[in-house]
Amino acid sequence: MDPSLRSPSFLLPYCFFFFFLLFTVATTTATEGAPADRLNVDTVPYAHGFRHLFGDSNCAPFVDGRGVSLLLDRFTGAGFISSDMYQHGFYSAKIKLPSDYTAGVVVAFYTSNGDVFEKTHDELDIEFLGNIRGKKWRFQTNVYGNGSTYRGREERYTLWFDPTEDFHRYSILWTPDNIIFYVDDVPIREMKKTEAMGGEYPSKPMSLYATIWDASDWATSGGRYKVNYKYAPFTAQFKDLSLEGCPVDPAILRSSTADLASACSAAATSLQSKAYSAVTARGRAAMRRFRQRYMYYYYCYDSIRYPVPPVECAIDPFERSRYHDTGRLKFGSTHRRRPRRSTAAPAYYESADNGADAQ
């Protein structure tokens, strides 16, 4: 054998190629499989921050304490609630949705104070709307303030991945100044508080809820497809839960907004200092791409429901032209501009680079 073939310098190109191949495989796995958890979230064991809400044995905590399974069968759904109410906060969980045929099944992750402020409640929603086998999963976000249920602020979307195959992180940020919804590390929606919104911007302490239930009358294609209990039980799993905010003593729940703000000022300052409390330029670009590709209903463009758009809506004439007067996307408009990337993830999820940029 040629002595040069035994020298270390001969092996260097092959070593470089080998490590490059490993890096490529690792990057592809991180992008296409379980997503990297880059929001730098502090988690709390299920038993330390939550309690059973309904469903008896259909609410089953994990053995390791990191989470809980919620089941829907023909007898009942299930749900849990945070042990405390919070004045503003960051609420987050890794969620894996039920697989197979799940039409009519709604899995909800949301904040609310409806049990305390029955007619003037606030609410922030992420709701998964069931799935017909082979179709894309759809979900919606919504914002209610001071009982403004007559003015729903729904946005509806599809997902760029199958949420039944692995856990993905879904998050709701609520501060005195803004509300941001996240899927993994991608900000998909931001609402900034304006004076014109008045009490319709959520302002009272809320609990965090998670539920699974039968919504056959409306969830999938407007109620066209019902829950089929042949596929039951339907199981949604929640783990690595996060509660960042100011716990509120029930004795001061009905205090003035000023009193609550004073009691929670330090917590609000801490919350607003977090990286996920503001959308960076890179995050805004990722959010814009998500909304161009995956949003299919936008309340601001629903001129039948709202002849005068709600005060927080900023109308983009070009974007408006892509929507019907019902607020629904015109057929084919989602992928017209970038057909080759119609199933691609927004930039944050595609990237496996600097975590600081992804926050």
Nearest to 346 by CA among 148, 129, 183, 179: 183
Measure CA 207 to chain center.
Answer: 16
Residues 47, 61 contacting (CB under 8 angstroms): yes
pLDDT value of residue 267: 92
Q: CA geometry: angle at 212 spanning 56 and 232, to 5°?
A: 80
Name residue 257's amino acid: T
Query: How many CB atoms lie under 10 A from the CB of residue 297?
Result: 18
Measure CA 204 to chain center.
Answer: 21
Taking the CA atoms of residue 179, residue 181, residue 182 and residue 186 in that order, the dihedral angle to the nearest 10 degrees is -80
Distance CA 68, CA 52 (A): 10
Strands 78-82, 123-128: pairing is unpaired
By annotation, the residues acting in catalysis are: 123, 127
Strands 85-96, 186-192: pairing is unpaired
pLDDT value of residue 134: 82
Distance CA 346, CA 339 (A): 14
* Helix, strand or coil, per DSSP, at residue 49: helix
The dihedral through the CA atoms of 321, 190, 122, 176 has a sign that is negative
Distance CA 355, CA 280 (A): 13
Distance CA 345, CA 31 (A): 9
219-255: string of b/e by CB count within 10 Å (b at 16+)? Answer: bbeeeebbbeeeebbbbbbbbbbbbbbbbbeeeeeeb
Distance CA 113, CA 116 (A): 6
What is this structure's pTM?
A: 0.84
What does the pLDDT profile of the chain (359 residues) look like in tens digits? 554 444 555 444 444 444 444 434 333 333 344 566 678 889 999 999 999 999 999 999 999 999 999 999 999 999 999 999 999 999 999 999 999 999 999 999 999 999 999 889 999 999 999 999 888 889 999 999 998 877 789 999 999 999 999 999 999 999 999 999 999 999 999 999 999 998 899 999 999 999 999 999 999 888 999 999 999 999 999 999 999 999 998 777 777 777 888 889 999 999 999 999 999 999 999 999 999 999 999 999 999 999 999 999 999 999 999 999 999 999 876 544 444 444 555 654 433 233 333 33
